[in-house]
Amino acid sequence: MRKRIVAGNWKMNKTYEEALSLVSEIDNMVKDEVNGDVTVIVAPPFPFLQSVGKLTQGNDKLYLAAQNVSEHESGAYTGEVSASMLKSVGTEYVIIGHSERRMYHHEDAQTLYKKLKATIAQGLKPIFCCGEPLEERDADRHFDYVGKQLHDSLSYLSNEEFDQVIVAYEPIWAIGTGRTASSQQAQEMHAYIREQLSRMFDAEAAFNCSILYGGSCNPGNAKELFAQEDVDGGLIGGASLKSRDFADIIKSF
Ligand code: PEP
């Protein structure tokens, strides 16, 4: 069975105190208001992982993610954080290949593949991001662009490794812009992604893979997006920083 997932990417926002109050509010709202079968994930900045994670522990719907991970196991990599370190503080998911990391930190397909391997080797679950820039969509090359991103980083994984992967489709033109993909645009790309995955891995694994939509998702548009057959939830940026909005998105299933 495909998991329904809503993950909040806090990016480089919040102080320590603010992070603790945000996760406490989310924890309470999820406990009080969310009845269905949905996995909720919060991805705070590295320094807050352990403390935020402690506050999620009593909630069987709420899990912890990191926003990035090193491709290396350990050693002289100043400023980097390994998958085993993330695991040791209770992290269960890792966002890999977010467009901001591809853009500002020049993370290429091969690096992302290594990050996927390092993450899965520690028993953590990657949330692998893909998505096209506006010029690729305008030139009607968005399917090929996303297909190549999937192929170049995921196709070298084994079926067993792929079983751990969640995919997030995040068109770059929709991230933080207030411009959302229409539910039809999201569905057709998600169906295409699933089809590509079924060519790389076994059909059942592709069918069971959760594919999340990300890009200006909010309480007003989440219901229609989540109603699409191949949209299994969302990766939420801005709206995940407000507990009320985030909870309302979670309740949109
Ligand atoms: C994101 O960056 O993952 C994202 C989806 O951001 P936003 O919701 O703010 O567009």
Question: Is 98 a known active-site residue?
Answer: yes
Give the side-chain half-sphere CA count within 13 A for 126: 30
Listed in sequence order, the DSSP H helices in the chain are 16-33, 49-56, 83-88, 99-104, 109-121, 134-138, 142-154, 159-162, 183-200, 203-208, 222-226, 243-250
What is the Å distance from ligand 1's center to 111 Cα?
22
Contact between residue 49 and residue 23 where contact means Cβ atoms under 8 Å apart: no
Structure tokens at 68: 């990035």
What is the Å distance from ligand 1's center to 38 Cα?
19
Was 238 annotated as part of a binding site? yes
Determine whether the shortest distance from the Cβ of 187 to ligand 1 is under 6 A: no
Q: Which domains does the chain have, with CATH numbers?
A: 5-251 (3.20.20.70)
pLDDT over threshold 90, residue 1: no
Residue whose CA lies nearest to ligand 1 atom number 7: 237
pLDDT-derived band at 84 (thresholds 50, 70, 90) equals: very high
126-179, pLDDT tens digit by residue? 999 999 999 999 999 999 999 999 999 999 999 999 999 999 999 999 998 988
Kindly state the percentage of the chain with pLDDT values over 70: 100
195-236, pLDDT tens digit by residue? 999 999 999 999 999 999 999 999 999 999 999 999 999 999
Question: Cα–Cα distance between 149 and 162 in angstroms, integer?
Answer: 15
What is the Å distance from ligand 1's center to 184 Cα?
19
Kindly state the percentage of the chain with pLDDT values over 90: 98
Per annotation, catalytic residue among 100, 136, 170, 190: 170
pLDDT-derived band at 61 (thresholds 50, 70, 90) equals: very high
Was 10 annotated as part of a binding site? yes
